[in-house]
Structure 1
Amino acid sequence: MLSLLYDESGDIDYTELTLSYMSFFTLEKFQNLLNTTQNGAAHSSSGIELSVLVKNVITSLCFCIIQLTLFCFFRTIFKFLYQPRCCCVPISQRMEPLPKGLLSWILPTLKNETHFYLAMGLDAYFFVRFISILLLFFLSVGFLNMFVLIPLNLTGKDSQHSATGLDRLSLSNISVSKVGRLNGHFVMSLLTIVCFHWVLIYELQSFVRIRQAYLQSKKHKSHLIHKTLLISNLPYYGKDGTLLKTILLVIPGGVQRIWYVNDFQGICTATKKAKEALQYLEQAEMKYLCAYMKKYTVNNDRRSIDYNGSRKTLIHNPTLADESLYPLFYPPIYLPTFKLPYSNTLLDLRLPSFLRLFLFQKRVHMIDWSLQQLEECQKTIDHFKILQAEDKLPKLDKVFVQFESQTSAYIAHQCLLSQIQGNLDITSIEVHPHDILWSNLLHENSTVSIFEKYLVVILSTLIIILYVVPVSFIGLISQLPLLTQLIPSMRWIYRLPEEIRDSISSFLPAVLLSILTDILLITFRCLTYYKRKLTGAQLEIDLQKWYFAFLFVQQFLVVTILTSIIVVFKQIVEQPTSIPILLAANLPKAATFFFQYISLKAFAFCGNKFLRLDELFLHFTWYKIKDITPRQRFYRLITLPRVNWGSVYPVFSVYGSIGLAYCLISPLISVFITFILSLALLYYKYSLKYIYNHINISETYGRLYPIALFNLYTGIYCLEFCLIGIFFSLKNNQGICPMKIQGTIMLIVLLLTIFGNISIYQRYVNHFSYLPILSDKDPSELDPGSRFRSPKENADELSLNSNSFYLNQAMFYSHPSFKYEKPKIWLPKDHLSESDREIKRLIEKSSVLQGGSTKGAKIEVLEKFKKFRLSVTEAAPDYK
């Protein structure tokens, strides 16, 4: 169809498109590189038959079915893993367990209404809504495009042109002699674009209404968090609390309380060492208890055999602890802290304890060392607490200010608080105390900090661009002839059976790409942290933008257009008008690749997410070794996984963009998009209710949702550019462009889309972060009541009452180290009552312990006294 864009071999010819001022490079190899046709990797799937597609995904389907079957079987056995919200949280917060049948969990999960997830925060609610809206869009508009366009595409061939395989169902099957059929695509494109904008505006209006009602509900706005502002760039005179309150009297209601951010590095280091010493102490006591029980039981066993060979029970005579059973060890090596240049940060390093072996040092008594370390740390902690009480600790340039009301806090948030540029000019509101990135609060807004932020932006951009290099190498694995040609030593692969070779070329690249993508996600999260975001919520918002850009460029554009990012960048910069031609030439040929890609992603997502094989494996391996003490086991069981929404929203924004880009070019894409969205909706409806922690400390209050909606514009732009390229480049046998009018109209539609994008964003952007002071609605409408909570709980109440220090508002926004208290040792109860006696001895020996308990933990001897079983039934004695 697009004969202008193809050379005699059928590949896309970029020779003319790449002629430019860069021709001053006279190296022949460099010119050959630029003039080489470098098609995207997705083109290799062009024209595949349905049978081939089924063959490629059948293995993934089988794995998915096996994983889901195992999940259905394990779900009621390992409740702590597959439905921890039913057993690993306080009784008042538990969900009602699902029926025990293998498939009896599906219908109750799907019946959960979307508004139920409001109890878990706006981020969770709007994500479920996001998936639901995308699903509804592709079920309606997407399937309408299928019913209208697939018959046009299927019958669009003639004797001179006919596509192959699944491409017969796409726009690629329309021949020049039947070019009039493209009018159907033109009309449906207008309908699709209009429907997209209608859904976008409707959802943005719903977002504003729901967010405002949620934030202004009585339950929400009455809490301290929602009346407090984090203010940065505090000038020197602002460090006087009385003066700062006077300055802020201009805000209606004035200031209720101020929390200065004191230099917490010294007490933070001491607290970390104290917690580690407590861990060593309890581990040492566990080792001692096991050794003591084993020694006593073995001795008892030797003396309790009567003449008939039967056992007799001997009365245990408690004595003082056996010194021969106390463990010895090499303590960790703590290095002196030192300050980093051009920074307020103190670097606290430690070396592995085994290095003491090379220094010819002797092992020390583990319990004695732990108690001594606790005493030293407690002295340091008490010293810093006294300094804080006497207001003698240095104050940083950050301060938390509680205002009279939520309205007052938002007024201050939306205003410039100082006439001097650079003073009191950065504010954050709705900050959860557990969400504060304390180490970033240490950094002032200096030149070094600004340079660091721009450096991170440059590195992130380079990662997005250069990621194509490792992807290209991984792509070689799927092309065995090319791989063995480049690496002759790999020719042994051809001695393997064909099925194994196909599996290697199909699955190994996918696994490697998945691992590489996960590594890149961790890298982006780390880089975003070094932008010195002050809260986890701010980090998630920034990560969402960069991660979407990465996924869209690398998982869509690169595999669709060219593996050479240099050529793409060169054409876009030097010849922007070639973008429609570029997309028109490449998108249709890559359609069937995304059928396979989305199918494999759907099966892998569903199976892996539900089964949680990694956690199941760790439970039977690493956790058996790691969980030595009752405290370690208790905290692992109650620490439910949390959703990092900043890395979840972009994944489905990319799927939605791919669906929008192809919904007219190859309408069959709607089936596959609907499939993966349905599985995602099933998983998240289940996991948000029964697996994930209901308290989202990095709650953005829905600000991720409009960003995800606007990200969908990338799919619309790709669609419009592609259609413009097709309409203008297509010529009939007489050399005339019959779709010039449609192309002109589509160009106007593109300009209107850009204008609409900008206008809609400017209209709603202030509602993403701010709250209206006035309302033209009935006040009763602003308290949605039960709509914003599940039948058993309220998210705000849980988040604010989960820890007792919230009750002491004087320490609410102080660093957690200032809230440290003397610990209570927790040992499991044993049948010899040695743990009770050991706790008593420790308390008498050292005043650094607040007490101890054996309640809620028990240790038993198993398998003829060779193994021990530790069980935990209640919370730790100092758990709050």
Structure 2
Amino acid sequence: MSLEVFPVRDVYNYTELTRSYMGIFYSDRFAKFLNTTQTGHAHSSSGMQFSILVKSIFTSLCLCSLQLTLFCFFRPIFKSLYQPRCYCVPNDERMDLLPSGFLSWVIPTMKHNINYYLSLGLDAYFLVRFIHILLLYFICVGSMNILILIPLNWSGSSSKNPSQTGLDKLSLSNISPSKIERLNIHFLMSIFTIGLFHWLIVYELQSFVKIRHSRLLSDFHKSKISTNTILIKNVPEHLRNYEALRDLFQLALPGCIRNIWFLYEFSHINDEVQDLADTLQILELEEILQLSKMLQNKDGSYQKQTQKVNEIMFHPPIQLNPFVIPVIDRRVRIKLPGWFRYLCLSPKVSQRQWCIDSFGMKLQAIDMWKQALVDDKIKKHNRVFIQFNSQREACIAHQCLLSQYQGNFDKSIMETNPKDVIWSNVVRENSIGCLIERYFVTILLICLIILYVIPVSFIGLFSHLPWLIQILPFLKWMYALPENIRETILSLLPSILLSLLTELVLGVFKFLIYFKGKPTQSELELDLQIWYFAFLFVQQFLVVTISTSVTVVFKQLIDQPTSIPVLLATNLPKAATFFFSYISVKALTFCGNSFLRIDQLILRYTKHKLQDKTPRQIFTRLTSLLKVRWGSVYPVYSVYGSIGLAYCIISPLISVFIVFFLSLSLLYYKYALRYIYSHVNNSETNGRLYPIALLHLFSGVYCLECCMIGTLFLSRNDNGRCPLKLQGWIMSLILLTTICFHITLYGRYYYYFSNLPILEDKSTSQESQIHRRHARVDECDSTSVDEYYSNLKLLMLHPSYSYEPPRIWLPDDGQGLSSAQINQLENEAVGLSGGTNKGAKIKLVGRGWSTKISISEAPPDFK
């Protein structure tokens, strides 16, 4: 067989083979489905004049200034909304009240050292540190690149090749072939930028390890029960009893066990507890409505008043029997509003009597399940919480392989907070259906990232007024606007719509990741961080910058993997001015909306006033402070940090806008974490989000290096030669070095992200001895519910097992009517644990046609 029939050059051509099994991505129909144009819509901003940029930012600047002005004005008026940590928390946890001056909050907020935020948890501290470190980095790198590179770029064009216009004259793409040697300065500055980034990452990871370990090994942290408690999965059935597990751990860690909590079936008692909580709310609302009617009558004793007030009739809510989806081990419970009973022509019943009857039945059922728990007659799941005598012993057990049999004791989670547990996920068995569900959710997340190209592509068309009016004819009035205003609106609209779409997809991500079966909210936040960063980086950077079609990029990577540098070098410079506008609008929108919180201000005096009709509802609303879900916050700054890194050499002016965005973010979080957000974070990851956020920044460095490689190899002088090949090969070597550095860095620090060093010191030894002395007390058996409670046996069980009979809370009316109501309910409602009218007052307002409730204390059964 001759070589002419099978040429050597085709033997190693795998393009056709690749297309054979990935042909769908080469289909014209598939490409049209995902594509409107072949370039990212950020390219439409190429050549933008400075005046247009200022106009697009000016609108957002005016709106942000208005919002900040309103915030400064409202802050001393609506203190419970803008400074809730000064009022709506226990006295020993309240912050000092800020001065009431218009701008008197700014300097005290900025003066707070970032070390203060350690008291709010490592997640809060490291976010402030992350923003602070990025801010310092871009100030340092940005100032040098701007002073050195922008003059070179501005004067880099020639009369023979004046190709760039507007702000593109400040970018690398403005350098003409006759001045190609200037790229040597860009090459040197990129080496400096990359080297400083590598030093920063190493320094921050080392600091992270020291700070995290110092915090977790402190006496304050060790005093928490969750510190030495781990959740172990897949416990075999023959070991699901206290003695067997204790004896098993005696072999490796003698005397290490302090407490064991099995995961009992809780669905039935939890249903009863939820129904009882709803019934209590209905009962208190009914009693307050009766009280309001009696106050408006204004005469007679309680007995006479009750005769005048008509009994409230209603349709009780419908609770359908729960059903289980066996394949994925999911339990679904549906509750319908009472008005559905109209369809069945069911008669109304007394609201008060229905609540009293429900109390008796629900409390009886709860007591039955509690006694069944004491008698060990409830099913145990294959999960168990084990509390060790010390943090050191818990770390040893967590890092050891606890069983030689695959599938037994194969997974454990440290630092388990019972309030952070996602109980519906923890109880699920490791079935094939659950595994399929997790993979299915993963596929959905990937599809969401890819298919979100469609609405993002659609957004780019909003910058074209004729097309926009064709779709939305009622916008014809925009033709009457001056041309400058029209251009400003059209340049601003895509950025605003892109931000709204991003917020929408975040909710979808949170919903889907829940179904991946993560046992705790903290684990869910860690997973959300990774997926949300992938989405933001692809959609807010790659797709917008390179191409609106993922298929175009995907096909090019398959056919010619080495074309990545060329792809980036030809696309990134054209999109630089888009990010100037986008980042500015994002910064101003974030700052104004976050400080003013206009949505919460409106809801508080509209919807919330209509909904909150009982003292308990008002108290819950006031004391339910905002809690940060850090898994969706860290990725935002990782993405903008990556964008800044990718463009800091290509278009150095990007650093100004990144610094602007980070400065406003730092101002907000330093204020909000101190005065707005709750200091309690049950989903604390103890800083594990931070190293992931740092490593995500490598995405920007890779883009910078690839773009520089493509630029150096593509550059041609007037003679058509490439004089910068050597620099291109050096940059390729730097790319390989960065990849190796990244892998080595991850391998070196990976175990420090979630593990602790085992330090043997006197305090640890003394702590272990003290716990061992008390170990026998914790091992005693109990035979009654009261003993079960006294020995803290319910601490790590589902909260329903620690539910106590509620106490009714009515407002004091000053005439003794509410006291008479409480006394009557105590006599009629079986199991109601008393009641009180202390801490709440009700009074008539206006002409006596309405009432107002105010509170001064917590509910009587508040924990």
Flag whether TM exceeds 0.5 (same fold).
Answer: yes
Unmatched segments (≥5 aa) in structure 2: 1-14, 768-787
The 10-residue stretch of structure 1 (537-546 or 332-341) with the greater mean CA deviation from structure 2: 332-341
CA contact (8 A) 2:56 2:488 kept: no
CA distance in structure 2 between the aligned counterparts of 1:578 and 1:759, rounded to whole angstroms = 26
Query: Aligned match of 2:808 in 821, 825, 831?
Result: 825
1:472–1:322: structure 2 CA closer, same or farther, 3 Å change rule? farther
Q: How far apart are residue 496 of structure 1 and its match?
A: 4.4
1:339–1:682: structure 2 CA closer, same or farther, 3 Å change rule? same
2:119 corresponds to:
119
CA contact (8 A) 2:495 2:582 kept: no
CA distance in structure 1 between the aligned counterparts of 2:611 and 2:755, rounded to whole angstroms = 45
2:170 corresponds to:
169
Number of aligned residues: 821
2:290 corresponds to:
288
Provide the secondary structure at the position in 2 that maps to 1:129: helix
CA distance in structure 2 between the aligned counterparts of 1:335 and 1:29, rounded to whole angstroms = 46
1:37–1:59: structure 2 CA closer, same or farther, 3 Å change rule? closer
2:449 corresponds to:
464
CA contact (8 A) 1:292 1:325 kept: no
2:497 equivalent to 1:497: no
1:864 corresponds to:
847
1:779–1:748: structure 2 CA closer, same or farther, 3 Å change rule? farther
Summarize the alignment of residues 271-286 of structure 1 with structure 2, pairs less than 5 Å apart: 271-286=273-288
Summarize the alignment of residues 525-604 of structure 1 with structure 2, pairs less than 5 Å apart: 525-604=510-589
CA distance in structure 2 between the aligned counterparts of 1:419 and 1:27, rounded to whole angstroms = 50
1:778–1:351: structure 2 CA closer, same or farther, 3 Å change rule? closer
CA distance in structure 2 between the aligned counterparts of 1:400 and 1:342, rounded to whole angstroms = 26
2:643 equivalent to 1:664: no
Please report the RMSD computed on the Cα atoms of aligned residues, expressed in angstroms.
2.4
1:27–1:259: structure 2 CA closer, same or farther, 3 Å change rule? closer
CA contact (8 A) 1:252 1:408 kept: no
Provide the secondary structure at the position in 1 that maps to 2:633: helix
2:258 equivalent to 1:259: no
Provide the secondary structure at the position in 1 that maps to 2:385: strand
Provide the secondary structure at the position in 2 that maps to 1:832: coil
Which amino acid counterpart does residue 139 of structure 1 have in structure 2?
A: I
2:405 equivalent to 1:420: yes
1:153 corresponds to:
153
1:669–1:654: structure 2 CA closer, same or farther, 3 Å change rule? same
CA distance in structure 2 between the aligned counterparts of 1:427 and 1:255, rounded to whole angstroms = 16
2:204 equivalent to 1:203: yes
Which amino acid counterpart does residue 206 of structure 1 have in structure 2?
A: S
CA contact (8 A) 1:72 1:103 kept: yes
Provide the secondary structure at the position in 1 that maps to 2:631: helix
Q: How far apart are residue 352 of structure 1 and its match?
A: 2.1
CA contact (8 A) 2:294 2:309 kept: no
2:21 equivalent to 1:38: no
CA distance in structure 1 between the aligned counterparts of 2:708 and 2:722, rounded to whole angstroms = 14
1:309 corresponds to:
none
1:389 corresponds to:
374
1:177–1:511: structure 2 CA closer, same or farther, 3 Å change rule? closer
2:518 equivalent to 1:518: no
CA distance in structure 1 between the aligned counterparts of 2:159 and 2:792, rounded to whole angstroms = 81
CA distance in structure 1 between the aligned counterparts of 2:277 and 2:623, rounded to whole angstroms = 19
CA contact (8 A) 2:812 2:838 kept: yes
1:267–1:550: structure 2 CA closer, same or farther, 3 Å change rule? same
1:624–1:36: structure 2 CA closer, same or farther, 3 Å change rule? closer
The 10-residue stretch of structure 1 (364-373 or 714-723) with the greater mean CA deviation from structure 2: 364-373
CA contact (8 A) 2:302 2:817 kept: no
CA contact (8 A) 2:273 2:800 kept: yes
CA distance in structure 1 between the aligned counterparts of 2:37 and 2:846, rounded to whole angstroms = 69
The 10-residue stretch of structure 1 (282-291 or 568-577) with the greater mean CA deviation from structure 2: 568-577
1:71 corresponds to:
71
2:184 equivalent to 1:183: yes
1:792 corresponds to:
none
Provide the secondary structure at the position in 2 that maps to 1:321: helix
2:753 equivalent to 1:771: no
CA distance in structure 2 between the aligned counterparts of 1:276 and 1:758, rounded to whole angstroms = 53
CA distance in structure 1 between the aligned counterparts of 2:388 and 2:244, rounded to whole angstroms = 15
CA distance in structure 1 between the aligned counterparts of 2:713 and 2:424, rounded to whole angstroms = 56
1:508–1:32: structure 2 CA closer, same or farther, 3 Å change rule? closer
CA distance in structure 2 between the aligned counterparts of 1:490 and 1:467, rounded to whole angstroms = 27
2:431 equivalent to 1:446: yes
CA contact (8 A) 2:34 2:550 kept: no
1:494–1:727: structure 2 CA closer, same or farther, 3 Å change rule? same
Q: How far apart are residue 329 of structure 1 and its match?
A: 1.3
Query: Aligned match of 1:476 in 444, 456, 461?
Result: 461
Q: How far apart are residue 323 of structure 1 and its match?
A: 6.5
2:5 corresponds to:
none
1:642 corresponds to:
627
Which amino acid counterpart does residue 287 of structure 1 have in structure 2?
A: L
CA contact (8 A) 1:723 1:746 kept: yes
CA distance in structure 2 between the aligned counterparts of 1:853 and 1:90, rounded to whole angstroms = 20
1:13 corresponds to:
none
1:229 corresponds to:
230
1:56 corresponds to:
56
Quote the sequence identity (%): 51
2:6 corresponds to:
none
CA distance in structure 1 between the aligned counterparts of 2:551 and 2:651, rounded to whole angstroms = 28
Summarize the alignment of residues 89-100 of structure 1 with structure 2, pairs less than 5 Å apart: 89-100=89-100
CA distance in structure 2 between the aligned counterparts of 1:161 and 1:331, rounded to whole angstroms = 80
Deviation by residue 1:414-439 (Cα, 9 ceiling, x = unmatched): 11110001101110111111100000
Deviation by residue 1:437-462 (Cα, 9 ceiling, x = unmatched): 00001211121111111111110000
CA distance in structure 2 between the aligned counterparts of 1:324 and 1:511, rounded to whole angstroms = 54
Deviation by residue 1:732-760 (Cα, 9 ceiling, x = unmatched): 22221111011000000000000000000
| TM-score, structure 1 normalization | 0.90
Which amino acid counterpart does residue 576 of structure 1 have in structure 2?
A: P
Summarize the alignment of residues 320-469 of structure 1 with structure 2, pairs less than 5 Å apart: 321-322=306-307, 324-469=309-454
CA distance in structure 1 between the aligned counterparts of 2:126 and 2:489, rounded to whole angstroms = 39
CA distance in structure 1 between the aligned counterparts of 2:16 and 2:40, rounded to whole angstroms = 20
Which amino acid counterpart does residue 845 of structure 1 have in structure 2?
A: E
Which amino acid counterpart does residue 230 of structure 2 have in structure 1?
A: L
Unmatched segments (≥5 aa) in structure 1: 1-17, 301-314, 784-804
Which amino acid counterpart does residue 49 of structure 2 have in structure 1?
A: E
1:534–1:705: structure 2 CA closer, same or farther, 3 Å change rule? same
Deviation by residue 1:773-815 (Cα, 9 ceiling, x = unmatched): 147x9999xx9xxxxxxxxxxxxxxxxxxxxx99963211011
The 10-residue stretch of structure 1 (460-469 or 252-261) with the greater mean CA deviation from structure 2: 252-261
1:29–1:815: structure 2 CA closer, same or farther, 3 Å change rule? closer
CA distance in structure 1 between the aligned counterparts of 2:330 and 2:106, rounded to whole angstroms = 51
Which amino acid counterpart does residue 120 of structure 2 have in structure 1?
A: M
CA distance in structure 2 between the aligned counterparts of 1:31 and 1:110, rounded to whole angstroms = 51
Deviation by residue 1:53-94 (Cα, 9 ceiling, x = unmatched): 110110100000010011111111111110100011111100
CA distance in structure 1 between the aligned counterparts of 2:499 and 2:757, rounded to whole angstroms = 43
1:252–1:726: structure 2 CA closer, same or farther, 3 Å change rule? farther
